[in-house]
Amino acid sequence: MISVKSVVKLNIPFIKRLDESAVKALEMTAEALHTEVVQAQVIPRDTGVLQGEQTFISAGDTVTNEYPSGESVSNTITKAITSKGKVSLVTTAPQARRLYFHPEYNFKKDENPNAQGRWYEPWISGDKKDFCQKAFKKFYKEVSGI
For the chain, the structural domain boundaries read 29-144
Helix extents (H) in 9-130: 12-39, 79-82, 96-100, 121-124
- Check the CA dihedral 7-11-60-89 and report its sign: negative
Q: What is the pLDDT of residues 19-54, one digit of tens each?
A: 999 988 998 999 999 999 999 999 988 777 788 778
Q: What is the pLDDT of residue 75?
A: 47
Residues 45/110, Cβ–Cβ less than 8 Å = no
d(CA 81, CA 87): 8
Which parts of the chain have pLDDT scores under 50?
A: 73-78
Q: What is the pLDDT of residue 66?
A: 59
d(CA 34, CA 55): 8
